Each structure stands twice: as C-alpha cells, then as structure tokens.
Amino acid sequence: MIEERNIASFPRPVYDRIPNFIGANIAAEKLKELSIWRKSRIIKSNPDSPQKWIREKALKHNKKVYIAIPRLKEKKCFLELIPKNIDNISYASTIKGAFRYGRMIYPDEMDTVDLIIIGSVAVNRIGAKVGKGGGFSDLEYAIVREFNIVNEVTPTLSTVHPCQILRDDIPMMEHDVPLDYIVTQDEIIKIEKIYEKPLGIKWNILGDKFNEIPILKMLKNNLK
C-alpha cells in the first residue's frame, strides 16, 4: 500500500513494522488543533518512526514522554523522557536517542498519562486498527491499565497516511485497544465510541508472552 504508492519513508521496506510515510511530520503538526494535545502534560507513545515527530513535538512543548522498551523485554519496561534533562530533543525522539536520554522505570513509577499515541499499519473510521502483529501495543496498554496509569477515558490517537484508512471492517478482539482519534496530514477524525477499551491484562490469552516478558511474571506473582 505505502510502498506501492512510493510514499514510504525511512526505514524501508515498511513490511513487518509500523510504516513510516511521507507526511508524518505534517500529521504530527496537526495535533496542535486538538485540545487534548494542548492540555496534555504526559503522553505515552509507541517507539516507531512515523510517531517520532509527535515525540519530538511533545518534548519541545515540555511534555513528559513514556516509551515502552521494545518487546517489553526488561522488568523496567518503560523509558521516561523529561524535557529538561535533554539537550538534543530531535535525537531523543528516536528509539536510540530515547535509550540515551531516557530513564528505565517500572510501570508503578509512571505518572498518570493524559494521551496515548499508538502506531498503526491500518485503521478504519470507527476506531479499529491493525498493528504489526506482535500485540505489544495492546499489551503495553493493558499493563499501564493494571497500574491505573490510564483509564477508559484516556484518549488514544494514531497518525497515519490517508491510504492507511480502510473502508473495510477490521476485526477487534477483547484485548485490542480502539482509537479515539485518527490524524492524517489532511484531517483529524474524532471517532464516536463503539468499542470498549480493555480493563487490563487478559491472562488467559497471553500464551508464550507470559514466559517472554518479565513484567508479566512480576505482576502475576503480586496478584497471588
């Protein structure tokens, strides 16, 4: 879709990742039209390339940014980026830079999040989305929901290229996190609530992830 139309941006090819696209920076700029963006002081963002511009914009506007460690492979599974501690905001907005300037923290060290940025492979206009297949974005949400860092009304937003907006139905499972806003370089789509957000971790469907993700074992032991 994006590759075929020659609108893909680095890194390429875009397969098996959240695709970066020409115009991602313009979509990020449109966030200034949203009151939820202007009012937010703390955001949680995916680490992928198209949302780099949002992370950079957030840090420039003195917003604290949380980014999950890729694949949640550490017990301290989030990076905390505080603008006053950063002398190169553009670099800090990349995943390598986030490791350089961020502090690794446990979920219970996080402050309440005002806005959640989610990367998407495809979306539709009723808030359903497709990720890159690993399910980590939804699991990140479930973990912070378990710690009461987000709740049902915490808004979720994805920036995409217009061609990523499908007319088709996108199946949504009970653990999938729906979108409240879709932002492209051309428009902002506010979505009427159709899907409920997950209340937390769906332990019965974790499968191998339980053994692969340290924070899940820690959480499960605390629940016993």
Cα–Cα separations (whole angstroms), residue 3 to 119, 122, 168, 211, 219: 17, 14, 20, 35, 40
pTM above 0.85, yes or no: yes
CA dihedral of residues 26, 47, 129, 189 (deg, nearest 10): -30
DSSP H stretches of helix in 81-223: 89-92, 95-101, 136-146, 209-212, 214-223
- Residues 24-223: name the CATH superfamily: NagB/RpiA/CoA transferase-like (3.40.50.10420)
CA 48/CA 37 separation, integer angstroms? 19
**Mean pLDDT computed over 33-45:** 98
Phi, psi of 66 (to 5 degrees): -110, 135
pLDDT tens digits for range 115-170 = 999 999 999 999 999 998 778 999 999 999 999 999 999 999 999 999 999 999 99
Closest alpha carbon to 58 in 193, 189, 161, 159:
159
pLDDT tens digits for range 12-36 = 777 778 999 999 999 999 999 999 9
- Domain residue ranges of the chain, discontinuous segments joined by +: 24-223
Q: Which amino acid is at 219?
A: L
